[in-house]
């Protein structure tokens, strides 16, 4: 990877950290009936033991407090945007981040390339939402709060009040995403039933 690409990827990671840190600082709290979840911290470069004597680091991990216990809630991994075989690149990367989520017992994770924001769940349907979030345009504290409230909501209830707020960030060039990215992702998650999974995604995630 060239120096300029490294700088850009590091810049994106720093910006994501900054906006989520600020959002949490000013308060992000989801509550329904007697249930309450408070987002408390975002930690960069969290170490994850992959194998014996092998350790990797998740770019950002967001923690929340629920029923008095602090636990990791969301992993955010930043990567450079790829135009040559973007689907295969994202599919390979998603395997690594899903492994991080399993190691940390986190159900939701994100891969962000400074333009597309892919929100994943560890189990079927795996991919939940694809958004367009430009790092120097609408990656801000409002977006960070919208994401955290949506994740808190869908992890607790079937309601979609906050999740629908993500429609403010619709994926652009849906045809490109649908043809060049989603098929490879679907094959990665469900090799024998990828066409069915892809059809569902085209109805729900874009």
pLDDT, the chain, mean: 93
pLDDT at 6 over 60: no
CATH architecture entry for 3-173: Alpha-Beta Complex (3.90)
- Determine the average pLDDT of the residues in 59-88: 92
Of the chain, the end-to-end C-alpha distance in Å amounts to 30
The pLDDT value given to residue 3: 45
Question: Is residue 125 scored above 70 in pLDDT?
Answer: yes
From edge to edge, which strands make up the β-sheet containing 29-32? 29-32, 35-51, 54-66, 69-78, 108-112, 116-121, 127-132
Residues 128-149, mean pLDDT to the nearest whole number: 96
pLDDT score, position 177: 96
Backbone dihedral angles phi then psi of residue 163, each to the nearest 5 degrees? -60, -35
Domain residue extents for the chain: 3-173
3-state secondary structure of 81: coil
Between CA 94 and CA 104, with CA 99 as vertex, the angle to 5 degrees is 125
Whole-number percent of the chain with pLDDT over 90? 84
Distance CA 76, CA 98 (A): 11
Look at residue 192 and tell me whether its pLDDT is greater than 70: yes
pLDDT over 90 (residue 53): no
Looking at the predicted structure, is the pLDDT value of residue 4 above 90? no
Is pLDDT at 47 greater than 90 in this prediction?
yes
């Amino acid at each position: 990877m060239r120096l300029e690409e490294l700088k850009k990827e590091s810049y994106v990671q720093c910006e994501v950290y900054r906006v989520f840190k600020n959002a949490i600082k000013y308060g992000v709290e989801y509550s329904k009936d007697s249930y309450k979840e408070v987002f408390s911290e975002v930690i960069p470069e969290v170490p994850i033991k992959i194998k014996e004597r092998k350790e990797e680091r998740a770019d950002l991990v967001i923690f929340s407090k629920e029923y008095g216990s602090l636990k990791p809630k969301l992993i955010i991994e930043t990567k450079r945007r790829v135009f040559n075989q973007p689907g295969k690149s994202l599919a390979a990367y998603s395997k690594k981040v899903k492994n991080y989520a399993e190691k940390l017992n986190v159900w939701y994770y994100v891969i962000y390339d400074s333009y597309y924001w892919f929100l994943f769940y560890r189990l079927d349907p795996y991919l939940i939402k694809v958004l367009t979030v430009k790092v120097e345009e609408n990656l801000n504290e409002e977006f960070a709060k919208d994401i955290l409230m949506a994740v808190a909501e869908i992890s607790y209830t079937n309601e979609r009040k906050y999740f629908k707020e993500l429609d403010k960030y619709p994926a652009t060039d849906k045809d490109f995403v649908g043809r060049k990215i989603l098929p490879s992702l679907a094959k990665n998650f469900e090799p024998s039933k990828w066409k069915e999974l892809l059809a569902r995604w085209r109805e729900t995630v874009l």
